[in-house]
Structure 1
């Protein structure tokens, strides 16, 4: 796998109560510094949900930073960047997932953010980002049905981690999930309550915009990967 290919990172920063107002304000104040990070072609700084997977209840203690790096050389400099130091100095802990895209359908704010640079095997680990902009008139339906999918995910075989992420509560929502294998992810997606909701979404046209992307995990030597969880 070439170091010249695009790579994606998503970091979850967990903040103590004394720094949560500071972290909330970074949703606006940190945008310009993130734009200055060398080698980043796309980014999103997002809040997270407080429940399992998707949740309408916000988690004011955890924020997610999604970065698309032009290549691995730029990615390795992440822990030395101004923006990483800005967040890590204020947080209790952080963890970064590194990945390469194997499939991407749809758009994010009118853009195709991820280039396909890898392939996946059914028995190997897989990461997934699903994102949607919900139509205003469909929000009540969205809030009524989607939490059922999160409850079914709690019982899903092979789910290692999941977190709801998003730019605006209820309107612009996304979920990041990490699975033991593609096979187990597809078993949940196509043979559970989640599948029923997807069919309802399509039939009733809930979304103004949506994106579905799959990734394989990779390791980046020299880049900040995690810190002790507290």
Structure 2
């Protein structure tokens, strides 16, 4: 179904930039594919269109019918830096970073650096997995090993910044990436969390951010 979606998604009214992604095992931060979890990333002209089309368009209805579970996160970009497949996919609304925030990083890893990159990923995954502030995290990708995306949601900008600044595996990996020029292309984006729909593992990943049970 993911392969056939390449024919259907361009015909969905209102859709802009889109990507089909697989995931890794565990929380996605491994090179071993998880054939049960997939992600569709898409841009839309406004929140109303995003809600309507991800609910009513034929391709999305087909996924809903065949999936055990589906979770959608609706986001508004607040800052974007870098490129994805040679373009800037998100247009920042320059909204102030207040409330829950999502962070997306995407990189094309140089083949010569892939082994060194993946050696560091398990340590980073362990640290982010034990961070009490992170509400949700997953690793996904377009091409195994070489096109990698991390997506995480945090209660606020301070919690996100504290993780990024901490001198642990994440910070050391960033320094290694810069020093070794491991990435051919990279993008970093922040988003406001506007809304969600559905469930993940039977619950609401962002419930603790709003005090829900």
Instruction: State the 1:27 CA deviation.
Output: 2.7
Instruction: State the 1:155 CA deviation.
Output: 1.9
Query: 2 CA distance for matches of 1:112 and 1:176?
Result: 17
1:130 equivalenced with 2:105 (yes/no): yes
Equivalent residue, structure 2, for 1:27:
2
Query: 2 CA distance for matches of 1:170 and 1:127?
Result: 23
After superposition, where does 1:58-137 map in structure 2 within 5 Å? 58-78=33-53, 79-121=55-97, 124-137=99-112
What is the count of residue pairs matched by the alignment?
200
Instruction: Determine if contact 2:47/2:74 at 8 Å carries over to the other structure.
Output: no
Query: 1 CA distance for matches of 2:96 and 2:70?
Result: 27
Instruction: State the 1:120 CA deviation.
Output: 3.4
TM-score, length basis structure 2: 0.89
Instruction: State the 1:86 CA deviation.
Output: 1.5
Query: 2 CA distance for matches of 1:227 and 1:121?
Result: 25
Corresponding residue to 1:187 among 137, 140, 162: 162
Query: 2 CA distance for matches of 1:227 and 1:183?
Result: 27
Instruction: Determine if contact 1:157/1:184 at 8 Å carries over to the other structure.
Output: no
Equivalent residue, structure 2, for 1:22:
none
Instruction: State the 1:145 CA deviation.
Output: 1.5
Instruction: Determine if contact 1:125/1:180 at 8 Å carries over to the other structure.
Output: yes
Query: 2 CA distance for matches of 1:208 and 1:135?
Result: 6
Instruction: State the 1:118 CA deviation.
Output: 4.3
Instruction: State the 1:157 CA deviation.
Output: 3.0
Comparing 90-99 with 48-57, greater Cα deviation is found at 48-57
**Deviation string for 1:97-147 (max 9, x for gaps)?**
11100111111100100000142335x211011110000111111111122
Partner SS, residue 12 of structure 2: coil
- Structural RMSD (CA): 1.6
Corresponding residue to 1:57 among 27, 32, 38: 32
Equivalent residue, structure 2, for 1:139:
114
TM-score, length basis structure 1: 0.82
Structure 1 unaligned blocks of 5 or more: 1-25
Equivalent residue, structure 2, for 1:10:
none
Query: 1 CA distance for matches of 2:200 and 2:110?
Result: 40
1:211 equivalenced with 2:183 (yes/no): no
